Structure 1
Amino acid sequence: MKKLTILFLFLILSNASAFKLMPMSYTIEASNKTKTALFTVFNDSDDPIAIQLEMRQRNMNSDGSEVQPETDDFLIFPDQLVLGPKKKRVIKVRWLKGNIDKVEKSFRLIAEQLPIDVTKKKNSKTDIKILLRYVAALYVAPKDGKSNLSVISAKTKKDLSRIVFYLENSGNVHQVLLKPSLKVIQEGQTFQVDNLEGIRGENILAQTKRYFSFVPPKGINVQKPYKIEFVNDD
């Protein structure tokens, strides 16, 4: 899970890649004596670019949307830089809050290309600017962390078109749904759910709940009682 690459790339306008941030997910574990995460920014372009980095808390709602308040839990060095053509720079993100708690904490590292012409070129053939924004995941995890997923409720929508279920992670670290398996059990019969769009690849943070929905498999009578069986092979 430590090196799992999950990319949130927002491209405002682009005809070429300007910079990259790696990795897109990093875990600072309790055994990490320096409590420091190392990220690398790469400038793939032929011109110098200005980059700004900041940390945010990561609070997730049950629908998967996030609230990202400011945090002073980290020191980023450097938090602003001008990166030359085809150059790279290691970014150090240090945890400042001492011992790691029993429950994993989740954060976002945001790297943005600033809309500044650091080349100061005159008579440019175009005024098009490329702005990139990367949002990486950073976790501060306890020793011997473990996720624990369970379905806590399920119901059919009023129009009978979908089944909505709540999935809870009562464990102390996050869990990404890389290989989810979903089944509906009714009157002794088991029905496999094949279409897991909107479920596969989603993240359940520690001590949080998420809800998902799916189209009932053929053969299910959603007006009769049923059970949901969910397994994630990580």
Structure 2
Amino acid sequence: MLAIAAAIFMLVPVASAMRVSPMVLEIESRGTNASARIEVQNLNKGNLPFQVRILQIQFGKDGNMTETPADDKFLVFPPQGALPPGGRQVIRLQWVGDAEIATSQAFYVAVEQLPVPLDPVAKDGLGAQVQVLYNMRALLVVAPPDSKPDVSPASVRQVNYQPPALPGAAESLSMQDGVEVTLRNEGRRHAMMSNFGWRLEGKDRDGKYLRVDVSPDELIKAIGTGYVPPLGERTFRLPVPGFGPEPVKLTFIQ
């Protein structure tokens, strides 16, 4: 069985046998800021063997995400190890890819628990053993030095949508009254849009003025980091009810 902590864009916490921190890292493609460190902690009662893999993330026009192995773009030390109960290991990540990348590039740092030999099954054949292996993924973004994001709302409207089910939960059948926001980034650097507060202004279904302020903490729960790629778009849906069919204005609050 495989349990995945989706700590990349939605930051969904799950009970696990290990902890990885931080879950979001930002570095640059050259200079003194071209490296990062993450720490792996064993929360299990037994030994924790693990390996580290790097996957590049790219978004298509339809919003779907693809992953491509990218271990050759980083020097990872150590690339694997084994932790005793309660043990910790700091992993160093050094960018060795193109120093002159044109735009930000996003990656998963996947820390994967490795299987260990199991005790023999009982001779009567009635015994059964299952290993639960955990795969913790952190978001690592490499950006060109001196680059900047340039994000603006491309579309903001009321929408009824089906919220995604939480890991391990049954799929929700109820529709959510909310707001769909498409953000366009015309800069060469990525943006983490849950670092800001969002102010939504428009009219409710009766034509009356309606304003809703969404805090960074609320945004993290709804959309995770709010990552918007450079020279690209991303669409988010927020559980903010009450707006009518007219366009909604979005501003960002520092």
Kindly tell me: are residues 111 and 8 of structure 1, through their superposed partners in 2, closer, same or farther at Cα, counting changes over 3 Å?
farther
C-alpha separation between the residues in 1 aligned to 2:193 and 2:43?
30
Q: What percentage of residue pairs aligned between the two structures are identical?
A: 24
Look up the SS of the partner of 1:33 in the other structure: coil
Q: Which residue in the other structure is 2:192 paired with? A: 175
Question: Which runs of structure 1 show a deviation greater than 4 angstroms over 4 or more consecutive aligned residues?
Answer: 4-11, 61-65, 120-126, 154-158, 161-165, 193-201, 213-216
Kindly tell me: are residues 34 and 176 of structure 1, through their superposed partners in 2, closer, same or farther at Cα, counting changes over 3 Å?
closer
Q: Which residue in the other structure is 1:191 paired with? A: 210
Kindly tell me: are residues 121 and 165 of structure 1, through their superposed partners in 2, closer, same or farther at Cα, counting changes over 3 Å?
closer
Look up the SS of the partner of 1:89 in the other structure: strand
AA at the equivalent of 1:77: F
* Counterpart pick for 1:202 among 219, 226, 236: 226
Look up the SS of the partner of 2:86 in the other structure: coil
Q: Which residue in the other structure is 1:69 paired with? A: 68
Query: What is the CA distance between 1:80 and its match in structure 2?
Result: 1.8
Cα shift readout 1:44-73 (whole Å, capped 9, x = no counterpart)? 223211101100111134675421111221
Structure 1: gaps (5+ residues): none
Query: What is the CA distance between 1:163 and its match in structure 2?
Result: 5.9
Structure 2: gaps (5+ residues): 1-6, 161-176
C-alpha separation between the residues in 1 aligned to 2:247 and 2:199?
14
After TM superposition, the score normalised by the length of structure 1 is: 0.73
C-alpha separation between the residues in 2 aligned to 1:22 and 1:209?
28
Kindly tell me: are residues 34 and 210 of structure 1, through their superposed partners in 2, closer, same or farther at Cα, counting changes over 3 Å?
closer
Query: What is the CA distance between 1:177 and its match in structure 2?
Result: 2.1
Q: How many correspondences in the alignment?
A: 218
Matches within 5 A, 1:1-234: 8=11, 17-29=16-28, 32-33=31-32, 35-61=34-60, 65-71=64-70, 72-117=72-117, 127-153=129-155, 164-171=180-187, 172-178=189-195, 179-184=197-202, 190-193=209-212, 198-199=222-223, 201-213=225-237, 217=242, 220=244, 222=245, 226-234=246-254
Does the 8 Å CA contact 1:100/1:141 hold for their aligned counterparts? no
Q: Whose helix proportion is higher, 1 or 2?
A: 2
Kindly tell me: are residues 8 and 130 of structure 1, through their superposed partners in 2, closer, same or farther at Cα, counting changes over 3 Å?
farther
Query: What is the CA distance between 1:233 and its match in structure 2?
Result: 3.1
Query: What is the CA distance between 1:95 and its match in structure 2?
Result: 0.9
Does the 8 Å CA contact 2:53/2:110 hold for their aligned counterparts? yes
C-alpha separation between the residues in 1 aligned to 2:83 and 2:237?
44
Q: Which residue in the other structure is 2:173 paired with? A: none
AA at the equivalent of 1:131: L
C-alpha separation between the residues in 1 aligned to 2:86 and 2:178?
50
AA at the equivalent of 1:173: H
Aligned-CA RMSD value: 3.8
C-alpha separation between the residues in 1 aligned to 2:143 and 2:159?
37
Does the 8 Å CA contact 1:56/1:68 hold for their aligned counterparts? yes
Does the 8 Å CA contact 2:9/2:226 hold for their aligned counterparts? no
